[in-house]
Amino acid sequence: MEIDLNEKVALVTGGSKGIGKGIAEALAAAGANVVICARNQQELEQTASEIADKTGARVVAITADVTNQQDVERLVQQTLEQVGEVNILVNNAGGIGKTGTFDEVEVEVYEQLYDLNVVSMVRLTKAVLPAMRSKKWGRIINISSENGLQPYPDMLPYDMTKAAIINFSKGLSKELGEHGILVNTVSPAFITTPLVDQMLQGQAEKAGITKEQAEKDFLEQKRPDLVLKRAGTIEEVGAAVAFLASDQASFITGTNLRVDGGSVSSI
Taking only the tens place, the pLDDT of each residue in 229-258 is: 999 999 999 999 999 999 999 999 999 999
Mean of the per-residue pLDDT values for the chain? Answer: 95
Q: What is the pLDDT of residues 103-143, one digit of tens each?
A: 999 999 999 999 999 999 999 999 999 999 999 999 999 99
**Do 70 and 149 sit in the same domain of this protein?**
yes
Q: Is residue 121 part of a domain?
A: yes
**Do 14 and 68 sit in the same domain of this protein?**
yes
**Do 79 and 204 sit in the same domain of this protein?**
no
Q: Which of 110, 114, 152, 158 is catalytic?
A: 158
Q: Is residue 4 part of a domain?
A: no
- Band of residue 202 on the pLDDT scale cut at 50, 70, 90: confident
Q: What is the pLDDT of residue 262?
A: 96
Classified as helix, coil or strand, 47 is helix
Q: Is residue 134 part of a domain?
A: yes
**Do 16 and 41 sit in the same domain of this protein?**
yes
**Do 199 and 181 sit in the same domain of this protein?**
no
Q: Is residue 1 part of a domain?
A: no
Q: Is residue 212 part of a domain?
A: yes
Q: Is residue 98 part of a domain?
A: yes
- pTM of the full structure: 0.95
For residue 115, which phi and psi values (nearest 5 degrees)? -65, -45
List the beta bridge partners of residue 192: 233
**Do 172 and 58 sit in the same domain of this protein?**
yes
Q: 173-212: buried (b, 16+ CB within 10 Å) or exposed (e) per residue? A: beebeeeebbbbbbbbbbbbbeeeeeebeebbeeeeeeee
- Which range has the worst mean pLDDT, 41-50, 101-110, 113-122, 196-205? 196-205
**Do 144 and 200 sit in the same domain of this protein?**
no
- Band of residue 31 on the pLDDT scale cut at 50, 70, 90: very high
Range of the domain at 220: 192-225
Q: Is residue 180 part of a domain?
A: yes
Percent pLDDT > 90 in the chain is: 87
Total tally of structural domains belonging to the chain? 2
**Do 117 and 211 sit in the same domain of this protein?**
no
Q: Is residue 265 part of a domain?
A: no
Q: What is the pLDDT of residues 55-110, one digit of tens each?
A: 999 999 999 999 999 999 999 999 999 999 999 999 999 999 999 999 999 999 99
Q: In what order do the strands lie in the sheet with 9-13?
A: 59-63, 33-38, 9-13, 88-91, 138-143, 181-188, 256-259
**Do 201 and 178 sit in the same domain of this protein?**
no
Q: What is the pLDDT of residue 196?
A: 84
**Do 183 and 205 sit in the same domain of this protein?**
no
Kindly list the distances between the CA atom of residue 30 and the CA atoms of 8, 59, 131, 209, in Å, as whole numbers in the listed order: 10, 13, 22, 40
CATH of residue 175: 3.40.50.720
**Do 56 and 140 sit in the same domain of this protein?**
yes
**Do 140 and 247 sit in the same domain of this protein?**
yes
Annotation says 158 is catalytic: yes
